[in-house]
């Protein structure tokens, strides 16, 4: 049999998971906007529900448009299979619930998204599933933090919003020695910049709302892993809790993915220029950017990220009022809490995305009241710079 030729990322984002000849030659994948599917016979329905025959039953359990998206993202992340969800948090909760039982322990990177923090707190309060945070800077530090009841290591890298990096290869090696799966929230990078499964990790999560969509018009989540794990999640937490994606939203993500590589190149190019500008500004206290060679984690970025990404966090010389005044003086740049859109967005983590995190925990994560997070868009970088400059002049 002739071996299938490997295709590159830029081609996969456009073609993977879709055969136009199977769908009347339509260049664009069709939207199967249906809640249910017809069986040819009662016996066929019985076989499908028993798992003896492949085929669609009901869109909460699977849909052709959604399946195209799942096959494409699995290929982009070098995983065996994938599942699509109605939000990033639906994806996070489905994975963590599927992996844990009462009394288990989750070890997390030093910082995580505010709603993920809230979910972990709820799991602790309701089901006695505990969690701890670790900087994960060395093997020894990681080994010290792992307990006998640890069933999952959950990592964000770059961490939201401090942009701290975790060496995924090191974490994966330690985890495998202990037989513990590693889950990585890869939202900040997208599969174009970082592939945790290729570095030895087990499960990848995306808030597809962000770079994968790229246009600010979808709420969605994605999970990639082994066929065995994805099947387990599909038949338990996804099926029974029901946080599924709609066919139309899956179609929008397929559309957004086509331009992912091109968009990410522009995001990264603009971000590098703005980071260099902010690094030299006298009113900026500190800049957190993986592409800064003065950053102590710069070598990690070079090892596991293709480019430093489209996100910058920075602190101003001042306090919360200084930061808010600066934000209010911006004209083109929008105050909003998402990221990865064509528009440049800025937010104040301490009072917005991470407001649910208690002040002391925020402090431990490195989130203070003067920290701002900038999602660099696709506009002219000079226009972004000029907007930042005029707002900085006013504080």
**Does position 6 have pLDDT exceeding 90, yes or no?**
no
Q: What is the mean pLDDT of residues 319-341?
A: 97
- 325 neighbors 394 (Cβ within 8 angstroms): yes
Residues 367 and 218 in one domain: no
Q: How far is CA 277 from the centre of its chain?
A: 27
Residues 314 and 185 in one domain: no
Asked if residue 1 is part of any domain, the answer here is no
Residue from 47, 58, 60, 283 carrying the catalytic annotation? 60
Asked if residue 228 is part of any domain, the answer here is yes
Residue that the structure tokens 């401090």 belong to: 162
- 323 neighbors 344 (Cβ within 8 angstroms): no
Residues 303 and 212 in one domain: no
Q: What is the mean pLDDT of residues 2-19?
A: 84
Asked if residue 4 is part of any domain, the answer here is no
Residues 233 and 334 in one domain: no
| CA atoms of 279 and 283, how far apart (whole Å) | 10
Q: How far is CA 27 from the centre of its chain?
A: 29
Residues 38 and 24 in one domain: yes
At which of 221, 238, 257 does a domain end? 257
Residue from 12, 104, 164, 185 carrying the catalytic annotation? 185
Long-range Cβ pairs for the range 230-234 (8 Å, 24+):
230/80, 230/81, 230/82, 230/83, 231/81, 232/98, 233/83, 233/94, 233/95, 233/98, 234/61, 234/83
Residues 253 and 310 in one domain: no
Q: Is 210 a catalytic residue?
A: yes
The predicted pLDDT at position 133 comes to 96
Closest by Cα among 292, 310, 290 to 384: 310
Residue 45, Cβ density class (10 Å: 0-12 exposed, 13-18 middle, ≥19 buried): middle
Asked if residue 2 is part of any domain, the answer here is no
- 227 neighbors 81 (Cβ within 8 angstroms): yes
Each residue of 186-201: pLDDT tens digit?
999 999 999 999 999 9
Structure tokens at 220: 């969605």
- Peptide bond before residue 158 is cis, with ω within 30 degrees of 0: yes
Asked if residue 170 is part of any domain, the answer here is yes
| CA atoms of 82 and 224, how far apart (whole Å) | 4
CATH number of domain containing 62: 3.40.640.10
Q: How many domains does the chain have?
A: 2
Choice among 37-41, 226-230, 365-369, 384-388 with the minimum mean pLDDT: 365-369
Written as one string, the DSSP assignment of 206-246 is: EETTTTTT-SS----EEEEE-HHHHHHHIIIIIHHH--BPP
Residues 212 and 277 in one domain: no
Closest by Cα among 300, 312, 315, 108 to 205: 108
Closest by Cα among 319, 330, 315 to 392: 330
- 196 neighbors 148 (Cβ within 8 angstroms): no
Each residue of 336-353: pLDDT tens digit?
999 999 999 999 999 999
Each residue of 133-150: pLDDT tens digit?
999 999 999 999 999 999
| CA atoms of 152 and 113, how far apart (whole Å) | 17
Residue 140, Cβ density class (10 Å: 0-12 exposed, 13-18 middle, ≥19 buried): exposed
Assign 265 to helix, strand or coil: helix
How would you label 70-108 residue by residue, b for 16+ Cβ within 10 Å and e otherwise? bebbbbbbebbbbbbbbbbbbbbbbbbbbbbeeebbbbb
Residues 233 and 326 in one domain: no
Share of the chain above pLDDT 90, in %: 95
* Count of CA atoms in the C-beta half-sphere (13 A) of 77: 34
- Give the phi and the psi of residue 363 in degrees, each rounded to 5: -60, -45
Bridge-partner residues for 314, per DSSP? 287, 372
Each residue of 247-271: pLDDT tens digit?
999 999 999 999 999 999 999 999 9
Which strands, in side-by-side order, build the sheet including 345-347? 284-288, 311-316, 371-375, 345-347, 334-335
Q: Is 58 a catalytic residue?
A: no
Pairing of strands 150-156, 130-134: unpaired
Pairing of strands 203-207, 182-185: parallel
| CA atoms of 156 and 353, how far apart (whole Å) | 15
Residue from 113, 154, 192, 277 carrying the catalytic annotation? 113
Each residue of 80-115: pLDDT tens digit?
999 999 999 999 999 999 999 999 999 999 999 999
The predicted pLDDT at position 42 comes to 97
Residue from 48, 72, 210, 263 carrying the catalytic annotation? 210
pLDDT interval class at 7 (50, 70, 90): confident
Asked if residue 85 is part of any domain, the answer here is yes
Residues 228 and 316 in one domain: no
**Does position 3 have pLDDT exceeding 70, yes or no?**
no
CATH number of domain containing 330: 3.90.1150.10
- 194 neighbors 305 (Cβ within 8 angstroms): yes
Residues 208 and 330 in one domain: no
**Does position 294 have pLDDT exceeding 50, yes or no?**
yes
Residues 244 and 366 in one domain: no
At which of 257, 283, 314 does a domain end? 257
Each residue of 226-252: pLDDT tens digit?
999 999 999 999 999 999 999 999 999
Residues 289 and 250 in one domain: no
Asked if residue 296 is part of any domain, the answer here is yes
**Does position 211 have pLDDT exceeding 70, yes or no?**
yes
Asked if residue 134 is part of any domain, the answer here is yes
Greatest CA separation found in the chain?
A: 74
| CA atoms of 73 and 230, how far apart (whole Å) | 13
Q: Is 185 a catalytic residue?
A: yes
At which of 211, 232, 257 does a domain end? 257
- Supply the pTM of this predicted model: 0.95
Look up the domain containing 225 and give its range: 9-257
């Amino acid at each position: 049999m002739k071996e299938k030729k490997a295709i590159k990322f830029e081609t996969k984002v456009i073609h993977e998971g879709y055969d136009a000849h199977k769908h009347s030659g339509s260049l664009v994948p069709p939207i199967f906007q249906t809640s249910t599917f017809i069986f040819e016979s009662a016996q066929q329905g019985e076989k499908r529900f028993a798992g003896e025959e492949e085929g669609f039953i009901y869109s909460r359990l699977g849909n052709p448009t959604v399946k195209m998206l799942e096959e494409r993202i699995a290929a982009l992340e070098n995983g065996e299979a994938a599942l699509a969800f109605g939000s990033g948090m639906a994806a996070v909760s489905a994975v963590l619930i599927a992996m844990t039982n009462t009394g288990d322990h989750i070890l997390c990177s030093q910082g995580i998204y505010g709603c993920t923090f809230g979910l972990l707190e709820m799991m602790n309060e309701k089901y006695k599933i505990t969690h701890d945070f670790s900087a994960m800077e060395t093997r020894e530090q990681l080994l010290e933090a792992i307990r006998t009841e640890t069933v999952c290591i959950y990592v964000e890298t770059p961490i939201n919003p401090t942009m701290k990096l975790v060496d995924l290869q090191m974490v994966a090696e330690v985890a495998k020695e202990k037989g513990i799966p590693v889950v990585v929230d890869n939202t900040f990078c997208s599969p174009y910049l970082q592939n945790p499964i290729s570095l030895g990790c087990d499960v990848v999560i995306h808030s597809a709302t962000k770079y994968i969509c790229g246009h600010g018009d979808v709420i969605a989540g994605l999970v990639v892993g082994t066929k065995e794990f994805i099947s387990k999640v599909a038949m338990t937490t996804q099926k029974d809790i029901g946080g599924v994606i709609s066919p139309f939203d899956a179609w929008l993500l397929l559309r957004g993915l086509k331009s992912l590589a091109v968009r990410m190149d522009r995001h990264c190019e603009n971000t590098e220029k703005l980071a260099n500008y902010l690094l030299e500004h006298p009113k900026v206290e500190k800049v957190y950017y993986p592409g800064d060679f003065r950053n102590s984690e710069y070598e990690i970025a070079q090892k596991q990220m293709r480019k430093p990404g489209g996100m910058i966090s920075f602190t101003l010389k001042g306090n919360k009022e200084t930061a808010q005044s600066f934000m209010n003086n911006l004209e083109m740049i929008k105050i909003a809490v998402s990221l990865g859109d064509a528009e440049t967005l800025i937010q104040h983590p301490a009072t917005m995305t991470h407001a649910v995190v208690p002040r002391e925990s925020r402090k431990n994560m490195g989130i203070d009241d003067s920290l701002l997070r900038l999602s660099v868009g696709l506009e002219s970088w000079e226009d972004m710079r000029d907007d930042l400059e005029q707002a900085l002049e006013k504080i």
